[in-house]
Amino acid sequence: MTCQRCDGLMVSERICDLQGLSSDLCVDGYRCLLCGNVVDATILENRRQSAEALQLLAGSSTRVMELAVG
Ligand SMILES: [Zn+2]
């Protein structure tokens, strides 16, 4: 896995919300060794799902247009 900001090496890491009151606010994510950019698994999952949604929209756009016209 490489960093999207600097192409540096990202390592798997458990990220905890230190400002949260609960100690359960820890997620598995990745941290860039070069610039410190942090990406958590939730963000990645959301990004992947939105990308898939965009692809679905793009792929079905012609059909939607046909339906709209018809
Ligand atoms: Zn980086």
pLDDT digits (tens, 9 = 90+) for 16-69: 766 666 656 777 889 999 999 988 877 778 888 888 888 887 876 665 566 666
Structure tokens at 21: 């009151």
Output the CA 30–ligand 1 centroid distance in Å. 10
Compute the residue count for the chain: 70
Angle at 39 between CA 37 and CA 45, to 5 degrees: 160
pLDDT at 8: 96
Output the CA 65–ligand 1 centroid distance in Å. 41
The Cα 24–Cα 18 span in angstroms is 10
